[in-house]
């Protein structure tokens, strides 16, 4: 028996959408009406109790039950087979290591970025290849959107109100893709995080949007020199704190160049860490509104965008041409990558 | 059309400290994370707190800007102070 309050709205779709917008329960885009039948189908797929608690979502400290998540997943346009990923993502976001309260309320344009690994990618049709960051692919679009709607409706994180993000960011509508594990020369990300390759997982990052890099060079050193040039700007929040988790998403074309040249992810990270250091002497000395971690450092020192080379995240996804790479600047909260196993129903 | 409300009840787990009440004679902590607003106001707040509200002492603490305070600091603070100012709206 579902316990949520029943709301009576207009029958005509356009009027219903307007009614839901006025209630403040959408992201501004049309939603699927979460009827009892739709929501029950979502819950039946996972076989969990509707009142089972998955997480408490800040800042409103709303309880994300299976039923409430199912309602938001229906609204986002999810198919029931996507729902286990939504649940796992919310579980990951509720992990205290992730720092969701800060992400929900900061002036920063940061947003959770979801990366899906393992067999479930193929089972539910998650796009890991060309155009994986959207638009056009239902699993990617609606899983990401379901999570964002849940953060809005369950976490009570109203944009322009308790969400203080100065500009917001398009990735706050949805930001979800899969890793193209099959075309990677390296272990997939979830294996790096301690899971088995045959497990399905979702990882959550705090990302500030996508920065494209056109990298036409064909040797690893030249590619990394170019990538580092795009990452090296001291207005990036990560440099203010020195604790970012920068993410590089390279297509299989670039990954192949590194793989064939014998470069592993560790070596790439070490090289990028070295190349992205910024001499403090190149930064103005005036006071900043928020004191940077380097405020009282010797001017002869350099600053980094993360604490250690290992904090740089390397993923393989996207189309095959070795032209474009994506840099997703990380937020400056430490330890903010959390990977959660997706529990797939056995039926 | 009838649909289900996507909003939810708040967690009943209490995270909030009891309200302070009267500040007269209280020892107050001022916990700064380095934001300019905290630094600027911190320099001026001690006087009014003492003269207007009767605070006996203001103790200043610095915490990291983007991570939890070092181990033991919150325990020290709780032991030594009656209340704490931990944030100021920008």
Domain count, chain A: 2
Give domain status of residue B18, yes or no: no
How would residue A124 be classed by pLDDT, with cut points 50, 70 and 90? very high
Same domain, A154 and A248: no
- pLDDT for the residue A334: 60
pLDDT higher than 80, residue B39: no
Same domain, A147 and A233: no
Give domain status of residue B89, yes or no: yes
Give domain status of residue B55, yes or no: yes
Task: Look up residue A215 and give its DSSP letter.
Answer: -
pLDDT tens by residue, A153-166: 999 998 888 899 99
Using DSSP's 3-state secondary structure scheme, residue A311 falls into helix
* Strands of the sheet with B57-62, listed across from one edge: B57-62, B27-32, B83-85
Cβ pair B4:A6 closer than 8 A: yes
Q: What is the mean pLDDT of chain A?
A: 95
| A149 contact B CB<8A | yes
Task: Look up residue A213 and give its DSSP letter.
Answer: E
Mutate: best of A8, A68, A244, partner B, most B CBs <10 A: A68
How would residue B66 be classed by pLDDT, with cut points 50, 70 and 90? low
Mutate: best of A6, A7, A8, partner B, most B CBs <10 A: A7
pLDDT higher than 80, residue B12: no
A151 vs B contacts (CB less than 8 Å): none
A39 vs B contacts (CB less than 8 Å): 4
Rounded to the nearest angstrom, the minimum Cα separation between A241 and chain B is: 7
Q: Of A47, A59, A45, A50, whose CA–CA distance to A4 is shortest?
A: A50
CB B30 within 8 A of CB B58: yes
pLDDT tens by residue, A181-230: 999 999 999 999 999 999 999 999 999 999 999 999 999 999 999 999 99
Helix (H) or strand (E) holding A236, with range, is: none
The phi, psi pair for A324, rounded to 5°, reads -110, 140
Tally the C-alpha atoms within 13 A of residue A69's C-alpha that lie toward its C-beta: 31
Rounded to the nearest angstrom, the minimum Cα separation between A24 and chain B is: 10
Same domain, A181 and A213: no
Q: Which residues 45-74 on chain B approach chain A with CB closer than 8 angstroms?
A: 65-67
Give the domain extent around A261. Answer: 209-330
Q: Which residues contact A331 (CB under 8 A, 6 or more apart)?
A: A99, A102, A103, A106, A108, A110, A206, A207, A208, A237, A238, A244, A245
Same domain, A87 and A214: no
CB atoms within 10 A of CB A226: 16
Burial A309-347 (b: 16+ CB within 10 A, else e): bebbbbbbbbeeebebbbbbbbbbbbebbbbbbbebeee
Give domain status of residue A263, yes or no: yes
Same domain, A21 and A119: yes
B39 vs A contacts (CB less than 8 Å): 291
Give the domain extent around B39. Answer: 23-64+81-90
User: Chain B residue closest to A16 (CA)?
Assistant: B1
- The Cα–Cα gap between A238 and A180 comes to 27
pLDDT higher than 70, residue A110: yes
CB A301 within 8 A of CB A232: no
Q: Which residues 37-96 on chain A approach chain B with CB closer than 8 angstroms?
A: 39, 56, 60-65, 67-68, 71-72, 75
Helix (H) or strand (E) holding A20, with range, is: helix A13-23
Q: How much is the ipTM here?
A: 0.93
Task: Look up residue A50 and give its DSSP letter.
Answer: T
- pLDDT for the residue A149: 98
């Amino acid at each position: 028996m579902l316990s949520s309050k029943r709301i009576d709205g207009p029958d005509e779709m356009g009027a219903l959408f307007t009614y839901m917008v006025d209630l403040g329960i959408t992201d501004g885009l049309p939603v699927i009406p979460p009827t009892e039948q739709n929501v029950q189908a979502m819950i039946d797929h996972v076989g969990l109790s509707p009142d089972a608690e998955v997480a408490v979502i800040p800042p409103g400290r709303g309880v994300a039950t299976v039923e409430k998540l199912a309602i938001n997943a229906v609204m986002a346009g999810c198919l029931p087979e996507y729902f286990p990923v939504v649940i796992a993502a919310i579980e990951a976001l509720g992990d205290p290591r992730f720092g969701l309260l800060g992400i929900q309320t900061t002036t920063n344009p940061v947003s959770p970025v979801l990366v899906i690994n393992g067999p479930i990618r193929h089972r539910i049709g998650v796009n890991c290849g060309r155009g994986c960051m959207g638009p056009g692919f239902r699993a990617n679009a609606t899983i990401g959107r379901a999570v964002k709607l849940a953060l809005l409706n369950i976490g009570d994180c109203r944009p322009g109100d308790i969400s203080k993000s100065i500009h917001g960011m398009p990735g706050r509508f949805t930001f979800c893709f899969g890793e193209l594990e099959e075309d990677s020369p390296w272990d997939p990300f979830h294996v790096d995080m301690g899971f088995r390759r045959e497990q399905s997982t979702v990882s959550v990052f705090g990302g500030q949007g996508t920065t494209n890099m056109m990298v036409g060079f064909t040797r690893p050193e030249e590619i990394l020199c170019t990538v580092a040039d795009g990452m090296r700007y001291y207005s990036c929040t990560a440099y203010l704190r020195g604790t970012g988790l920068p993410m590089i998403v390279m297509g299989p074309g670039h990954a192949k160049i590194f793989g064939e040249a014998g470069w592993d992810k560790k070596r790439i990270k070490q090289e990028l860490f070295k190349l992205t250091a910024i001499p403090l002497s190149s930064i103005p000395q005036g006071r900043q509104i928020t004191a940077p971690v380097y405020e009282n450092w010797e001017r002869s020192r350099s600053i980094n965008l993360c604490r250690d080379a290992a904090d740089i995240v390397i993923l393989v996804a996207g189309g095959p041409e070795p032209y474009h790479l994506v840099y997703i600047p990380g937020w400056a909260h430490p330890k903010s990558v959390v990977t959660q196993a997706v529990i797939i129903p056995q039926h | 059309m009838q649909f289900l409300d996507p909003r939810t009840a708040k967690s009943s787990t209490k995270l909030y400290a009891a309200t302070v009440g009267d500040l007269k004679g209280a020892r107050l902590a001022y916990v700064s994370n380095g934001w300019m607003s905290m630094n600027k106001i911190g320099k001026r707040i001690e006087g009014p707190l003492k003269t207007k509200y009767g605070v006996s002492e203001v103790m200043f603490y610095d915490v990291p800007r983007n991570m939890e305070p070092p181990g033991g600091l919150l325990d020290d603070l709780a032991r030594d102070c009656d209340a704490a100012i931990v944030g100021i709206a920008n």
